[in-house]
Amino acid sequence: MRWIEAKVIFDFKDTQLAADLISNLFYDLGLQGVVVETPEIESSEDWGDDAVIPEHWAVIAYFPDDDQSKKRRETIEKKLERLETKTGIISHTVYAKIDEADWTETWKAFFKTEKITPNIVVKPTWKEYFRNGDEIVLEIDPGMAFGTGTHPTTCLCITMIEKYLKRSGSFLDVGTGSGILMVAAAKLGARKVWGTDNDSVAVDIACKNLIQNRISESTFKILTTHLVDTVTQRFDLVAANLTTPAVLSLLDDIKRVLAPNGLLICSGILEADQKKVLENMANLGFEVIEIGIKESWVSFVCRPM
């Protein structure tokens, strides 16, 4: 399969905020494999042998090279124009056609082993890592799906899952992407881990990552569906690492899949949207238990009152 790489090179005084806003734009459009390139990053021995330090700040995403590609490009350009008008972020986009195999190799140069919490390490499947004591190691090959564990929104989710998941409890990941949160929950002792994603490619990748991590196939299930539309069971802990609009949409239906005293972890929310989400939660009768913040991103742990 051939893909189109959309590389948005930008200039703005707050580079992290700009990267987050452009990334969020891509997530809203449902684009795959979002990567942030930064010239300030330091290479390490865990990087790919052919890793190259970028010259400019940029956000990269991928979409299929099909009959909808022209329309997607036009949508991206319009949204970037609106973003510039609203925030002053100056950008230009470079497009290139790329094979999936080439994309995978490019991605590997930017994905390195990282310690997410004192006890949890995320590593690429193609890298060696020697476990230190009782560390939990998550082996991930994201392919064309979102979720390496190194993005702030995923780090926040994993931290909250580690804190709030009850051993032998049940877990649902809404918009599972690479399946990393399902892997984390299973390795932290969940007896049942389910996931949903509206992208069949992501569903296949998540399944492979769960099997790669030796999670029993009798333990997990992944549905190709929108949010929780076809989920018929209830779960002790539900995680949703999405975008603000998707989280707001999910809140209307999430109580249906939460077990009594169940908890919801919401992530993928920019600090600028924090007030809007909190107000919506209050209106729908949710109690916020904890708020986590990392690099302009916010996560919430809440439960129905």
The predicted-structure confidence for 75-87, as pLDDT tens digits, reads as follows 999 999 999 999 9
CB burial class (10 A; 0-12, 13-18, 19+) of residue 25? buried
In this predicted structure, the answer to whether residue 181 has a pLDDT above a threshold of 60 is yes
Name beta bridge partners: 4.
63, 97
What pLDDT does 127 receive? 84
Spatial distance between the Cα atoms of 161 and 235, rounded to a whole number of angstroms = 13
For range 89-115, the mean pLDDT? 78
210-254 tens-digit pLDDT:
999 999 999 999 999 999 999 999 999 999 998 888 999 999 999
Could you give the C-alpha distances from 152 to 21, 78, 91, 149, 298, in angstroms and in order? Answer: 13, 27, 23, 8, 9
* Other residues' Cβ atoms within 10 Å of the Cβ of residue 18: 23
What pLDDT does 45 receive? 46
For range 34-46, the mean pLDDT? 62
In this predicted structure, the answer to whether residue 146 has a pLDDT above a threshold of 80 is no
Spatial distance between the Cα atoms of 150 and 147, rounded to a whole number of angstroms = 8
In terms of pLDDT, which residue wins out, 215 or 129? Answer: 215
Are 102 and 43 in contact, with CB atoms under 8 Å apart? no
What pLDDT does 248 receive? 94
Q: Which amino acid is at 211?
A: I
Spatial distance between the Cα atoms of 305 and 24, rounded to a whole number of angstroms = 30
What pLDDT does 199 receive? 84
Least confident of 125-139, 145-159, 195-209: 145-159
pLDDT band for 52, please (50, 70, 90 cuts).
very low
How is residue 237 written in tokens?
A: 């802990």
In order of their start, the domains of the chain are 2-108 (3.30.70.260), 114-304 (3.40.50.150)
